[in-house]
């Protein structure tokens, strides 16, 4: 029987530290190689036998993961936050980190995280770039407002970013400093460019053949539009990885962490360990949901009696997660049972 070799990788922008161990913990190889595909190919040829690799999830993990996957028995990615809790020590450097990752891998203690299929990750990259554009558009709009307020220029907040009103404002505003019109014109041009880019990205994602049917089903749910459906489909990846509704709610960051000790159970505010993209769009959808759906309005009103609006919004968001999960698993449009008012499973 051929022995298996366990490889721990500590990946950085320019270098990759590696440690190859046998099942008994004996180090076979270790060192540092440049973080380039050609160097990885040379290094893989020198490995003594069949191998399994593990690495920490970082900005540079994706391309290394895809390059090694065809050549290894398995490639695993460790959750950064959980890895820190397990591998904390006084001494820390790249060589030690690679050794510890290899040890966790061979002992089957690696806190593995989910890696979505490559096509999903490619589409997710486009969606997150769109989110960046939206944030930059919001910052630019806020800056336009602050420039006008600094100069004491009165304006209509609702109409400010309409092209016709913007032109009229520039032409009719009195006491406007000479430096202000060029800055406002530049901001207007930036907003137009970002808006066109954002629409182009969304159109491309909506027309993708791998997503069309899935999005059509998800958008039959009340308060779920194109952005919410796209974010769910691309951030969740494969819906089968969630065994229960509670796991999906936790992943979306719509519940608090548990702190139990000496028989006392405490619940903290909503956890910071979450998918922030999903959390944001689901909370926004939950604010709109009670206006569009009677069942969501009932849940909102019930929770409002026992707490504040934030509690009610989170309850609606958790219900939306249940709807999204059921529809995505079933791969058919949203339906309710007439007697239970729940989505058909």
d(CA 282, CA 325): 13
Tell me: pLDDT of 148 over 80.
Answer: yes
Torsion angle in degrees (nearest 10) through CA of 273, 275, 276, 281? -140
d(CA 96, CA 87): 10
User: What is the structure's pLDDT at 91?
Assistant: 77
Q: What percent of the chain clears pLDDT 70, i.e. is strictly above it?
A: 93
Q: Enumerate the H helices of 69-210 as residue ranges.
A: 80-86, 94-106, 118-150, 163-172, 180-206
| 283-299 pLDDT tens trace | 999 999 999 999 999 99
Q: Enumerate the H helices of the chain as residue ranges.
A: 37-45, 61-68, 80-86, 94-106, 118-150, 163-172, 180-206, 212-218, 226-236, 245-251, 276-292, 294-306, 309-330
Contact 52, 74 (CB under 8 A): yes
User: What is the structure's pLDDT at 135?
Assistant: 95
Closest CA to 198 of 290, 300, 128: 128
Q: What percent of the chain clears pLDDT 90, i.e. is strictly above it?
A: 77
**What is the number of residues in the chain?**
345
Parallel, antiparallel or unpaired: strands 256-261 and 74-78:
unpaired
Confidence bin at 84 (pLDDT 50/70/90): confident
d(CA 81, CA 61): 15
What is the average per-residue pLDDT within 114-120?
93
User: What is the structure's pLDDT at 269?
Assistant: 72
3 state DSSP class of 33: strand
Confidence bin at 308 (pLDDT 50/70/90): confident
What is the average per-residue pLDDT within 97-105?
94
Say which residues have a Cβ less than 8 Å from residue 29's Cβ, sequence separation at least 6: 18, 19, 20, 46, 47, 48
User: What is the structure's pLDDT at 344?
Assistant: 45
What average pLDDT does the structure give for the chain?
90
pTM: 0.87
| 260-277 pLDDT tens trace | 676 777 667 777 788 999
d(CA 225, CA 227): 6
| 205-243 pLDDT tens trace | 999 998 999 999 999 999 999 999 999 999 999 999 999
């Amino acid at each position: 029987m051929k022995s298996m070799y366990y490889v721990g990788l500590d990946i950085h922008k320019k270098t990759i530290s590696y440690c190859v161990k046998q099942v008994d913990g004996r180090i076979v190889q270790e060192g540092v190689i440049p973080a380039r595909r050609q160097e990885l190919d040379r290094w893989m040829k020198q490995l003594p036998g069949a191998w399994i690799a593990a690495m920490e999830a970082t900005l540079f993990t994706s391309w290394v993961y895809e390059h090694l996957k065809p050549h290894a028995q398995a490639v695993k990615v460790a959750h950064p936050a959980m890895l820190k809790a397990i591998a904390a020590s006084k001494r820390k450097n790249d060589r030690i980190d690679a050794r510890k990752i290899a040890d966790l891998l061979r002992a089957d203690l690696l806190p593995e995280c989910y890696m979505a299929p490559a096509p999903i990750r490619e589409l997710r990259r486009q969606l997150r770039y769109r989110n960046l554009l939206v944030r930059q558009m919001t910052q630019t709009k806020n800056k336009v407002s602050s420039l006008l307020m600094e100069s004491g220029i009165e304006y209509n907040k609702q109409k400010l970013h309409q092209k016709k009103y913007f032109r009229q404002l520039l032409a009719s505003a009195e006491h406007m400093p000479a430096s202000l019109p060029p800055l406002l014109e530049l901001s207007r041009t930036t907003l137009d460019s970002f808006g066109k880019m954002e629409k182009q990205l969304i159109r491309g994602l909506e027309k993708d053949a791998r997503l069309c049917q899935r999005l059509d089903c998800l958008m039959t749910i009340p308060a779920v539009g194109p952005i919410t459906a796209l974010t769910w489909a691309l951030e969740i990846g494969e819906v089968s990885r969630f065994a229960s509704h509670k796991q999906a709610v936790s992943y979306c960051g719509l519940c608090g962490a548990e702190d139990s000790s000496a028989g006392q159970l405490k619940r903290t505010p909503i956890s910071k360990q979450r998918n922030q993209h999903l959390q944001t769009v689901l909370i926004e959808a939950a604010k709109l949901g009670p206006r569009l759906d009677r069942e969501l309005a009932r849940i909102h009103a019930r929770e409002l009696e026992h707490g504040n609006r934030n509690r009610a919004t989170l309850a609606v968001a958790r219900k939306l997660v249940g709807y999204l999960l059921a529809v995505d698993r079933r791969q058919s449009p949203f339906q309710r049972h007439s007697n239970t008012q729940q989505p058909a499973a």
